[in-house]
Amino acid sequence: MRPGYSPFPLLLPPSTSFSPLRTPRIARPQQLLFSYPKKRHRAPPGDSPTRRRRRRRRLAKMAEQLYTVASDSETTGEDKSQPSFPDVAIGIDIGTSKCSVAVWNGHQVELLKNTRNQKGMRSYVMFKDDTLSAGVTGGAAKENAHEERDILSGSAIFNMKRLIGRMDTDEVVQASKTLPFLVQTLGIGVRPFIAALVNNMWRSTTPEEVLAIFLLELKALVEMHLKHPVRNAVLTIPVAFSRFQQTRIERACAMAGLHVLRLMPEPTAVALLYAQQQQQLVNDNMGSGIEKIALIFNMGAGYCDAAVAATAGGVSQIRALSGCTAGGEDILQNIMRHVVPNFDNLYAGQTMDRIQSMSLLRMATQDAIHKLVNQETVEINIDLGNGHKVSKVLDHSEFEQVNRAIFDKCEKIINQCLVDAKLVPEDINDVILVGGCSKIPRIRSLVLGLCKKEISYKNIDALEAAVSGAALEGAIASGVNDPSGSLDLLTIQATPMNLGIRANGDSFAAIIPRNTTVPARRDMLFTTTHDNQTEALIAVYEGEGERAEDNHLLGYFKITGIPAAPKGTVEISVCMDIDATNVLRVFAGVVKPQGPATPPFIEVRMPTLDDGHGWCGQALAKMYGKTLDLAVLPKKLQP
């Protein structure tokens, strides 16, 4: 997304004084620097290194000057009195349940509070008549106690992070049908129909729109606090987010007038905070300075992630990432179904009394789960209306039995992380537990047990770590230098999933395997599967499945004009490139035979798909699977 570009400018209420269309012209030195050296590529062939260096210095100077001029003309008295950095990206953690925002204030990371003094603000948007209000300011509720009831009234949309960028065939969407607002599915690979109850009528919306409204309120809160416009943001996302879902987050941000500087997997943001703390220990002569390995486990309401990070000298290198969609929401649903066995019959279809009854059940169950963290047993007593009463005592063993499948998923991703990082539990120095669900005793014992540790790392706040890390990354990626050295940090990201194309019929050829260091560039050779095949389909997928269909389709394009030749003789190179901002580009073209008849390479930025990708892959395979197929050719084996 181009900075400052908003596809929905009308969505912004007139109260926002900083229109995203009016790009602040101040200071984007990095971008200026970036745009220059391109010319250097076309340097004359006889160019000497010294001359090149000199030119580089000149260009840097030019960029510097331009930057100074631009900022001078723009900087008014207000900015001068404010020594903070107008273009420093803010950090946002959009949680399934709660959201928080943090900024680098010039010395350290500061979490912002809303007017109700909350750092963690409930993630929802309330639809009432013609007004929309998000959880940042507390929506329509005047008191905290009423907020939860209002959220569950059917008029509020929440769990956006679970629903965003998912098609109606997705099991997460299917499981969302028991929420108090309307989630309708047709099971054909299109967007689900989502609507909020307004004046006894369902009004449709989309997860992106809801998130945008929320972010708009959040942005206003930050601007009120900082007293200057905010443009750039670093957001944390679950490891399990597909690239398609990432584009939805970017779109929601653009709608809210925010430019996404980075999307950071949540545990990697925590890893950055850990790297900073370790670096400070070294500076205080309390640390050893040798490489330390941390396993970070993060479980919130919607997702669960694990990461292994190696840290030394302020650099945090992500060695392995793994995640899944399992979280507090699933635990809640399991317990609700356990407490009310005929749950699905009882709550099929959303009538007013059913919504009310379900919200009572939800609140009581949630409360019970929270209490069970510190208690041996908990009693659930609710009158669900229509003569239906629930009375149940729940203990830990029952709780663990009901949620066994979820704990198994957690175990799986941790083990996978260790295997991928080629480590054994003994190699791990610290286990960091974050996220709301990390308070659950079974989760703690499970993670610590797998890592063979007695205790978890103490210096990190389970609910504030991700957003703090995001704000740190925001400052670093905005080019802020701190004289005290507390920003001499770096996160080296890794790809959470395999990236590749469909080849050899139905299989998936991974070109960039998961956990490859980012930025990355890898290529692979392919060949034709038919004599005189002149066209080939490049269908790009992301995921862990062996078969192409088991993965997310990101996009597709055709290579045309392949020179006629017997099958298996043509060489087609497919190169994948991920830059530091995580943009994926695919380059493809014929490398052998070369000649004037060879068509030029194609560069495609992924994902290209916008909607309905659930069925697109199947349609592609059916129509072109056989005729436009490619086969994998081993790299550089034949001359």
Q: Give the interface with another protein as residue ranges (CB under 8 A).
A: 30, 33-34, 37-38, 40, 56, 290-291, 312-315, 317, 422, 476-477, 488, 490-492, 504, 509-510, 513, 516-517, 519-521, 546, 579-580, 631-637, 639
CB of 27 to another protein, least distance (A): 14
CB of 632 to another protein, least distance (A): 5
Beta carbon of residue 8, minimum distance to another protein (angstroms, whole number): 30
Closest distance of CB 579 from another protein, Å: 7
- Select 169 or 429, whichever has its Cβ closest to another protein: 429
CB of 370 or CB of 522, closer to another protein: 522
Take residue 623 and report the two structure tokens written for it: 């129509």
Buried b (16+ CB within 10 A) or exposed e, 469-497: bbbbbbbbbbebeeeeebbebebbbbbbb
Q: Which two tokens stand for residue 46?
A: 């006889």
Toward another protein, which CB reaches closer, 140 or 480? 480
Would you say 346 or 591 has its CB closer to another protein? Answer: 591
Closer to another protein by Cβ: residue 49 or 83: 49
Angle at 123 between CA 167 and CA 353, to 5 degrees: 80
State the amino acid at position 549 in one-letter form: E
DSSP code at position 418: H
Q: Are residues 98 and 113 in contact, defined by beta-carbon separation less than 8 angstroms? A: no
Nearer to another protein, 565 or 632 (CB): 632
For residue 314, CA distances in Å to 24, 294, 489 come to 32, 14, 5
Quote the least distance from Cβ 498 to another protein, whole Å: 9
- Measured from the CB of residue 45, what is the shortest distance to another protein in angstroms? 17
Burial class (CB in 10 A: 0-12, 13-18, 19+), 402: middle
Report the nearest approach of another protein to the CB of residue 73 (Å): 23
Q: Which is nearer to another protein, 479 or 612 (CB)?
A: 479
3-state DSSP assignment of residue 604: strand
Nearer to another protein, 258 or 510 (CB): 510
Which residue number, 372 or 417, has a Cβ lying nearer to another protein?
A: 417
Complex with another protein: residue 166 or 502, whichever CB lies closer: 502
User: Which are the contacts of 33, defined by CB distance < 8 A and separation ≥ 6?
Assistant: 60, 63
User: Is the CB of 97 or the CB of 495 nearer to another protein?
Assistant: 495
The count of other CB atoms within 10 Å of the CB of residue 334 is 19
Residues in the chain: 639
Q: Which is nearer to another protein, 210 or 234 (CB)?
A: 234
Min dist CB 320 to another protein, Å, is: 13
Distance in angstroms (rounded) separating the CA atoms of residues 137 and 99:
12
Q: Shortest approach of another protein to residue 477 CB, angstroms? A: 6
Nearest approach, Cβ of residue 399 and another protein (Å): 38
Helix and strand totals (H; E) in the chain: 18, 28
HEC secondary structure over 337-357: HHHCCCHHHHCCCCCHHHHHH
Q: How far is the CB of 568 from another protein (least distance, A)?
A: 9
139, 429, 502, 629 from 623: Cα distances, Å: 49, 52, 14, 11
Rounded least distance, CB 214 to another protein, Å: 28
Give the span between the Cα atoms of 529 and 503, in whole angstroms: 10
Count CB atoms within 10 A of the CB of residue 616.
16
461 or 546, CB closer to another protein? 546
Residue 628 to residues 41, 77, 345: CA-CA distances in angstroms?
Answer: 35, 63, 48
What does the alpha-carbon distance between residue 578 and residue 520 come to, in Å, rounded to a whole number? 5
Of 336, 302, 298, give the one whose Cα is nearest residue 439: 298
CB under 8 A, 24+ apart: contacts of 2-10:
3/28, 3/31, 3/231, 3/259, 4/231, 4/259, 5/254, 6/254, 6/255, 6/257, 7/251, 7/254, 7/255, 8/212, 8/254, 8/255
> Cβ 541 to another protein, closest distance in Å?
14
- Distance between CA atoms of residues 637 and 639, nearest Å: 7
438 SS3 class: helix
